[in-house]
Chain A
Amino acid sequence: MFSYYVRLALSSIRKTPVLSALMVLALGLGIGAFMTTFTVYYLMSGDPIPHKSHMLYAVQLDNWDPNEPPTESARDLEPQVTYQDGQNLIHAQTPAKRQTQIYASNVIVVPDSDEAPFDELVRATYHTFFEMFDVPFKFGGPWTQREDDDHAAIIIIGRELNDRLFDGENSIGRSVQLDDKYLEVVGVIDDWQPTPRFYHVDAGNQFEDTEQIYLPFTWAIDQPLLPSGNTNCWKPPDDSLPLMDAFLQSECVWNQFWAELETPEQAAAYKDYLDNYVRDQKAIGRFERPLNTFISNVREWLEVNQVVTDDNRVLVRLSFLFLLVCVLNTVGLLMAKFLGKGGEVALRRAMGASRGAIFAQNLVEVGVIGVLGGIIGTGFAWLGLQAVEKLYRGYQHLVHLDPVMLTAAIGLATLAAILAGLYPVWRVSRLAPAGLLKTQ
């Protein structure tokens, strides 16, 4: 009977095109608005590395100004660490399976071709970065501990840059010129875009592209490649030193530091290790504030850094209310439509349709309207997301509807339509056929 009901539904929709279009439009608008805000929220709040997010921890150490108010939670602390703390930890025997220290910089890439040199973001890090964050490789692979230790002039590039410089060919062993330096390509990363870009989520750039260049941290410091992005200091670097040296020795925080901790016991041991490390540092005159160290796994880290802002949540709630208004409008339109079908309903009842059969037939019609509303709503959501992309910088990874969201949009529209239709459908199924047959 289901296919028969679908056929009847389509026929009924064709019979009342304006009323049906209004219902589909009302649902579509509601779904479109809700799915636009919810898609942004869903992708913002998604787990960028679900299989490992509980094992990857960002590190925070409270080296800040002793005159500042006390630290009560991880949110009160800077999300980055100093270069020297990062170095101390990365060279120590800690309970972590792996650790990595990272900072961002900029370089000028000089192509072999006639193309003009161009500016490119760089991530300077250790070989562990690629293993910890499960970075996929198209060609080659991560560099090694030895190359970190040797301050090797090597480079890992992203697929897009490889396409640009080497026409997408396997470029392992070839060289890339950065400023006046030549670096050998050891790896080409395949498409990789954790969303949010969890390993560096401050400064409002958590939804930007991953970098196309990765360099050994040790080599980058040697050049030196100056840091770009957020650099915060509670006291000025020593201005008697060259700028990079001053930065390296300062209490400025500009490095991200991550540890891979496989079990809760390992995490507890690592936290103890950090506490002891800070106590040691206090002994030599640093860390003048009360002892505060925090480790936060990926999901906690996104919360700490308020990747999903309260504004996003308010927008989702508002758009849900709008969807409810659209559903209520649809209830009214469905009442008008179904009560106009009294004659046909009475006839079908006379021919042997039970109330249940009439209920099912009209519920299927409501469902079909819901599916159409969902399809239209998906279109509206796509337009809404395009608008988000145009209006807000750095949201380009949030403006696509993935299959889950597409299914959810159509499912939600169908559910909304069925909820809207329950009362009208129940009413029409309870119509007394006798009085309506004479007037049909």
Chain B
Amino acid sequence: MLKMSNISKVYRTELVETHALRELDLHVEEGEFVAVTGPSGSGKTTFLNIAGLLESPSNGRYELDGEDVSQINDRARSRIRNQKVGFIFQGFNLIPDLNLADNVDVPLRYRGWSATERRRAVGDMLDLVGLGSRQNYLPSQLSGGQQQRVAIARALAGKPRFLLADEPTGNLDSEMADVVMKLLEKVNSEGTTIVMVTHDPDLARRARRNIHVLDGRATDIMDAVSPNVMPLPGRGAARV
């Protein structure tokens, strides 16, 4: 599903050169739930941005779903982001002046679906996260946990095969965090590949596989079988 080979990312200014990622190799199989851990500044977010095609690597090869996406143009990156990738952010990133339905509708607008298809998908996704009756609410009328569930509904609305979650429970209390994690686990059990960046070792343990990023390199791998997810046949074929 995701294959990074020898990926480097260097940020240059007139005065300083920062190596955010150094020759990173990574392979995530389809259907995996991978937790990426590491200290602040280790390169987790840069990895996530490159994985989500929000940034291009300085060097190396990145294949997503069998397609080399290392150096494709903006239009093609946008199309792949829209069709194959879903994002969940720590800060939810809902658009405050759009109601829940319109927020979930955002990626579908760029997909070119008909109004009927979009309406059905939005309704299904909000039902999935238990907020189907609140389609016309504004984000400010919801709790943090509910907002993150809307964000998950938005990420899933276009049926992406690959979900990137950046500290998805970072702004939630433990109870809400558990609800969100259960939702992610359910989504993963239905076949969606998830890569989740987290600081929380408890959450990382719930993923099926852990990758530790340090100084721009994926330095540690730890298999961890999630209690409610069965291992996929042949998983772990590619490794750091």
Contacts and interface: CB of A to CB of B under 8 A. Distances in A.
Interface of A: 1, 4, 11-12, 14-15, 343-344, 347-357, 432-434, 437-438, 440
Contacts of A440: 89, 91, 93
Contact of B110 (A12, A15, A351): A351
B109 A350 contact: no
30 contacts: A11-B97, A11-B98, A12-B97, A15-B97, A343-B93, A344-B95, A347-B93, A348-B106, A348-B110, A349-B81, A350-B54, A350-B87, A351-B81, A351-B87, A352-B82, A352-B110, A353-B82, A353-B110, A354-B74, A354-B75, A354-B79, A356-B75, A357-B110, A432-B55, A437-B54, A437-B93, A438-B45, A438-B91, A440-B89, A440-B91
Given A350-B81, A354-B75, A14 B97 contact: yes
A89 to B, nearest CB: 74
Contacts of B171: none
Contact of B78 (A347, A357, A432): A357
Contacts of A350: 52, 54, 81, 87
Contacts of B54: 349-350, 433-434, 437
B71 interface: no
Contacts of B182: none
Q: Which of B83, B107, B166 has the most CB of A within 10 A?
A: B107
B49 interface: yes
A4 B115 CA distance: 11
B107 A434 contact: no
A349 B107 CA distance: 9
B217 interface: no
B78 A353 contact: yes
Nearest to A430: B74
Contacts of A349: 54, 78, 81
Nearest to A361: B109
A355 B79 CA distance: 11
A354 B78 contact: yes
Nearest to B74: A355
Given A354-B74, A440-B89, 19 more contacts: A1-B109, A4-B109, A350-B54, A351-B81, A352-B107, A352-B110, A353-B78, A353-B82, A354-B110, A355-B78, A357-B110, A432-B55, A434-B49, A434-B55, A437-B87, A437-B166, A438-B45, A438-B91, A440-B93
A434 B11 CA distance: 13
Contacts of B82: 351-353
Contacts of B98: 11
A356 to B, nearest CB: 7
A435 to B, nearest CB: 9
B149 interface: no
Contacts of A344: 95
B239 to A, nearest CB: 26
Nearest to B80: A352
- B: interface residue count bin: 20 to 34
B107 A351 contact: yes
B186 interface: no
B102 to A, nearest CB: 9
Contact of B95 (A347, A354, A434, A437): A347
Contacts of B154: 351
Interface of B: 45, 49, 52, 54-55, 74-75, 78-79, 81-83, 87, 89-91, 93, 95, 97-98, 106-107, 109-111, 154, 158, 166
A347 B91 CA distance: 11
Contacts of A353: 78, 82, 110
A354 to B, nearest CB: 4
B151 to A, nearest CB: 10
Nearest to B106: A351
Nearest to B110: A352
Nearest to A440: B93
Contacts of A1: 109
Contacts of B45: 434, 438
Contacts of B111: 352
Q: Which 3 A-B pairs have the closest CB atoms?
A: A352-B82, A354-B78, A351-B107
A344 B89 CA distance: 13
A433 B90 CA distance: 15
A415 B75 CA distance: 27
A427 to B, nearest CB: 15
Contacts of B75: 354, 356
A347 B89 CA distance: 10
Contacts of A352: 78-79, 81-83, 107, 110-111, 158
A354 B77 CA distance: 8
A6 B158 CA distance: 23
Contacts of B110: 348, 351-354, 357
A275 B75 CA distance: 74
B119 to A, nearest CB: 14
A21 B81 CA distance: 36
A350 B92 CA distance: 13
Q: Which of A348, A352, A353, A433 has the most CB of B within 10 A?
A: A352
A354 B83 CA distance: 13
A353 B158 CA distance: 13
Nearest to A350: B87
Nearest to B95: A344
A139 to B, nearest CB: 58
A14 B91 CA distance: 24
Nearest to B84: A352
Q: Which of A12, A357, A438 has the most CB of B within 10 A?
A: A438
A129 B78 CA distance: 71
B105 to A, nearest CB: 9
Contacts of A351: 81-82, 87, 106-107, 110, 154
Contacts of A4: 109
B53 to A, nearest CB: 9
Contacts of A434: 45, 49, 54-55
A250 B83 CA distance: 92
A344 B95 CA distance: 7
B201 to A, nearest CB: 22
A429 to B, nearest CB: 10
